[in-house]
Amino acid sequence: MEKTVSEAIAYRRSCRVYKKESIEVEKVKQCLQNATLAPTSSNLQLWEFYHITDSVVLKKVSFACFDQNAAKTAQQLVVIVVRKDLWSKRAKANLQFLETAFNQSPQDEHLLKQKKMATTYYKKLIPFTYLDFLGILGFLKYILFQVVGLFRPIYRQTRLSDMRIVAHKSAALAAQNFMISMAAIGYDTCPMEGSDTLKIKKILHLPSSAEINMVIGCGIRDEKGIYGSRFRVPFEEVYHRI
């Protein structure tokens, strides 16, 4: 029986050792489809998911993850990839979707206004935000926005490093959707940052502009796979009601 959201969150632990028991490829794929429903900045969906089931590739990626147990014993691996370089393509996809959606709706003044705002957003604001050259344009926009910010609230995250963070945040939200979905059906995961990302990109034949967000081991937990009881700092230390 599938777990509730709260049950799945409580069940999910980073599993470092998996049983030699296969898991269903299609079920993992469905969990990855759930990942695509995660919130994403400007709905650009600057992510890709590489679902590794081939034994040869599994060994190669495990080696690139330093053969840590969470990778070496995993039955399958998922690599979360950030594709900030695809912002223009994804913006055009949003525009095409909006065009179709608005054309299928009755045209009233309110909807026409919404369409104009959305079209302007993807045709002008997104290119202005994401266009850069060696980080120079982003830095100039950053200085400009800091000056404007002296007089009114304004979006300030315009540097190349800022936009990378934005894309990685969206990818991490998708990864969490995936891991909670896996926990809901009794499958286990372990997100790994410890890896040679350059080697992984070469194994997966990714362009230099792609970035590895994390590698996730997948399987069914061995009793030795959960390293001790869960620890969290007291909730009162991190919760602030204003």
pLDDT tens string 11-37 = 999 999 999 999 999 999 999 999 999
pLDDT computed for residue 114 by the predictor: 86
**How many Å apart are CA 59 and CA 44, to the nearest integer?**
32
| pLDDT above 80 for 107 | no
The model's confidence at residue 156, banded by pLDDT at 50, 70 and 90, is confident
Q: Are 213 and 171 in contact (CB under 8 A)?
A: yes
| pLDDT above 80 for 46 | yes
Would residue 152 count as lying in a domain? Answer: no
188-192 and 47-52 strand pairing: unpaired
Q: Are 221 and 19 in contact (CB under 8 A)?
A: yes
pTM of the model: 0.93
The pLDDT tens digits for 121-145 are 999 999 999 988 888 888 898 899 8
Residue-level length of the chain? 242
The pLDDT tens digits for 51-86 are 999 999 999 999 999 999 999 999 999 999 999 999
Section 93-112 average pLDDT: 83
Would residue 169 count as lying in a domain? Answer: yes
Percent of the chain at pLDDT > 70 equals 99
| pLDDT above 90 for 47 | yes
The model's confidence at residue 108, banded by pLDDT at 50, 70 and 90, is confident
| pLDDT above 90 for 154 | no
**Residue 30 structural domain:** 5-86+162-222
Would residue 121 count as lying in a domain? Answer: no
Count of domains for the chain:
1
Instruction: Find the CATH number of the domain harbouring 195.
Output: 3.40.109.10
Would residue 95 count as lying in a domain? Answer: no
pLDDT computed for residue 1 by the predictor: 82
Sheet with 188-192, side-by-side order of all strands: 47-52, 76-82, 211-219, 188-192
Report which of 58, 141, 126 is spatially closest to residue 92, judged by C-alpha positions: 126
Q: Are 79 and 52 in contact (CB under 8 A)?
A: yes
Residue ranges of the alpha helices (H) in the chain? 5-11, 25-35, 55-64, 69-72, 87-103, 109-120, 126-130, 136-148, 160-184, 197-203, 235-238
Would residue 146 count as lying in a domain? Answer: no
Would residue 109 count as lying in a domain? Answer: no
Q: How far is CA 121 from CA 76, 92, 109, 138, 161, in A?
A: 39, 11, 18, 18, 22
Would residue 148 count as lying in a domain? Answer: no
**How many Å apart are CA 147 and CA 182, to the nearest integer?**
46
Would residue 29 count as lying in a domain? Answer: yes
